[in-house]
């Protein structure tokens, strides 16, 4: 995997800000039906690691989308923030739409 670096981002309205101290900037793309339905196309995300800070938690909505994951978004503006694996509560995958995925991801992993 790629280099780790600190990244930060926010939702469209600015009520939720997220930071990761050591994100892997390798961008993965998931093309499964659920991800395409959620975002209108493939989900582009990076592994945010385990050291995460969320500011504006009162504006965060978590949706249990499957037995294994939660999808998380701003309940004010709807921006997709990240998805979280239920069995590893510390595995955060940041959506590129939040800006927390960095700007130089290599985008070389695709999942279907």
> pTM of this prediction?
0.78
Q: Which residues does 96 contact at the CB level (< 8 Å), separation at least 6?
A: 27, 44, 45, 46, 105
User: What's the mean pLDDT in 28-32?
Assistant: 87
* Helix, strand and coil percent figures for the chain, each rounded to 5: 10, 50, 40
Could you tell me the residue ranges of all domains in the chain?
Answer: 4-102
CB-neighbour burial class of residue 102 (10 A; exposed 0-12, middle 13-18, buried 19+): buried
41-89 pLDDT, tens per residue?
888 888 888 888 999 999 999 999 999 889 999 999 999 998 888 887 6
What's the whole-number mean pLDDT along residues 15-28?
Answer: 90
Residue 112 scores a pLDDT above 50: no
Q: What is the pLDDT of residues 2-18, one digit of tens each?
A: 578 898 889 999 999 99
Q: What is the pLDDT of residue 105?
A: 47
> For domain 4-102, is the CATH number 3.40.366.10?
no
Q: What percent of the chain has pLDDT over 70?
A: 79
């Amino acid at each position: 995997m790629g280099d780790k670096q600190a990244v930060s981002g926010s939702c469209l309205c600015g009520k939720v800000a997220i930071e990761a101290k050591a994100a892997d900037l390798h961008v993965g793309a998931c093309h499964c039906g659920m991800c395409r339905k959620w975002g209108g196309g493939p989900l582009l995300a990076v592994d945010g690691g385990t050291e995460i800070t969320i500011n504006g938690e009162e504006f965060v909505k978590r949706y249990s989308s499957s037995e294994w994951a939660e999808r998380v978004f701003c309940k004010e503006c709807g921006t997709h923030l990240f998805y979280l694996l239920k069995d590893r509560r510390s595995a955060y995958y940041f959506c590129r739409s939040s800006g927390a995925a960095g700007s130089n991801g290599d985008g070389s992993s695709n999942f279907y």
